[in-house]
């Protein structure tokens, strides 16, 4: 049976060397892969044709491939709303094709000697390999890299030990993400916690700036806005309405992501952007670091951001400052899957990397 499985692996899924990171059309951005899959499914429903390049990633008949796309097209159409993220698209492919019928999969005569009692296992493995090839074709996340996020935000009335205060932000600008563990957020001064603490000079400058803009004196308005920014505030256009907001720099509590120049540094930043961009966040602040950043837990639409970063292998558990066992558990899960930075045999710790740079090494 071992020889038969090796033969199946060789024949049924033959991705090109770069297939884990680049899909067809040279896809590297996962969102482009989602769009490409949606386009191909739409085109299949019109022409009944599958992409010609698919054969470079999976070895099967065009008839079998048509059966896959027929099932996927139906599943995509019935999913409301349709998949938008790479993870959602990947899950749809996996869930749809894992129910594949044996008739949709062709097996070579060279393994006809295998006893019927173990053929069902062979088919399961075969289909898994075909799914892997299809995901690689579109540059979508493979099955072992997907994570289940089970931790939702704590109840609003809860008071975790050490909590100092709570922030509710306006939608986050993607440019406000500095790296995989640091983000700048803004909180409207209409928020009950902020309204009583706005400096008088900021209030006056905001009013004068609005008057200057009404009079089209934009140079004066820009000068006033600079004073507002220097005081730690900003006037932000939100749905065609100007909102005065307080600036906070947030350091994600309990994790340390690779620095930008380190391996997986850019991937960590991109993942954090993907999670928080244009979203309102709930931030539980526990401390302030030596750089003046608030150290806190971030929740976004029911997702605990630190959990997502750890499970996807894009951050380390920062044990020197946070001993929560769940963070350690999530890091170990990513290590076991060898996802993200754990795909490297000996990833460098970001705190050691920073130390080396400070000491000139």
What are the extents of the domains in the chain? Answer: 2-145, 165-186+248-358
* Active-site annotation holder among 30, 87, 251, 331: 251
Q: Is 324 a catalytic residue?
A: no
Beta carbons within 10 angstroms of residue 131's beta carbon:
23
For residue 305, pLDDT over 80 is answered with: yes
Mean pLDDT is lowest, of 6-10, 113-117, 257-261, for 6-10
Q: Return the DSSP state at 346.
A: S
d(CA 315, CA 334): 10
Write the class of the CATH domain 165-186+248-358. Answer: mainly beta
Nearest partner of 178 among 107, 258, 105, judged by Cα? 258
For residue 116, pLDDT over 70 is answered with: no
pLDDT tens string 309-357: 999 999 999 999 999 999 999 999 999 999 999 999 899 999 999 999 8
* Active-site annotation holder among 209, 253, 282, 293: 293
Q: Is 259 a catalytic residue?
A: yes
Q: Is 293 a catalytic residue?
A: yes
At 337 the pLDDT is: 92
- Average pLDDT on 288-302 reads 94
* Active-site annotation holder among 30, 87, 253, 259: 259
Most confident of 18-22, 100-104, 189-193, 228-232: 228-232
The rounded percent of the chain whose pLDDT value lies above 70 is 79
Q: Which band of pLDDT confidence, cut at 50, 70 and 90, is reported for residue 140?
A: confident
Extract the tokens encoding 190: 């209409």
d(CA 9, CA 126): 8
Helix (H, G, I), strand (E, B) or coil at 253: coil
d(CA 134, CA 89): 12
């Amino acid at each position: 049976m071992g020889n038969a499985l090796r033969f199946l692996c060789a024949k049924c899924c033959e991705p090109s060397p770069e297939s884990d990171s680049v899909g067809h059309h040279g896809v590297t951005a996962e969102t482009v892969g989602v769009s490409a899959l949606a386009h191909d499914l739409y085109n299949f429903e019109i022409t009944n044709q599958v992409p010609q390049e698919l054969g470079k990633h999976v070895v099967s008949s065009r008839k079998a491939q048509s059966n896959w796309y027929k099932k996927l097209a139906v599943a995509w159409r019935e999913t409301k709303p349709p998949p938008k993220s790479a993870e959602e698209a990947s899950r749809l492919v996996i869930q749809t094709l894992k129910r594949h019928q044996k008739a949709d999969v062709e097996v070579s005569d060279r393994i006809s000697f295998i006893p019927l009692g173990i053929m069902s296992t062979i088919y399961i493995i075969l289909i898994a390999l075909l799914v892997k090839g299809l995901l690689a074709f579109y540059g979508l996340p493979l099955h072992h890299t997907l994570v289940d996020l089970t931790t939702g935000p704590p109840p609003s009335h809860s008071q975790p030990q050490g909590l100092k205060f709570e922030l509710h932000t306006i939608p986050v600008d993607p440019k406000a993400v500095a790296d995989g563990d640091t983000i700048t957020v803004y909180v409207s001064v209409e928020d009950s916690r902020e309204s009583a603490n706005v400096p008088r000079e900021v209030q006056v400058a905001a009013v004068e700036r609005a008057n200057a803009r009404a009079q089209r004196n934009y140079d004066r308005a820009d000068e006033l806005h600079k004073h507002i920014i220097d005081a730690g505030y900003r006037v932000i256009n939100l749905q065609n309405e100007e909102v005065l907001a307080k600036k906070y720099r947030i350091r994600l509590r309990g994790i340390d992501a690779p620095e930008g120049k380190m391996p997986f540094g850019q991937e960590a930043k991109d993942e954090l952007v993907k999670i928080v961009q244009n979203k309102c966040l709930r931030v539980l602040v526990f401390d302030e670091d030596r750089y003046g950043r608030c150290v806190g837990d971030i929740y976004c639409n029911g997702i605990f951001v630190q959990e997502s970063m750890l499970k996807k292998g894009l951050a380390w558990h920062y044990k020197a400052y946070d001993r929560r066992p769940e963070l350690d558990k999530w890091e170990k899960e990513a290590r076991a899957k060898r996802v993200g930075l754990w795909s490297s045999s000996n990833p460098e710790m970001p705190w050691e990397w920073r130390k080396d740079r400070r000491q000139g090494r």
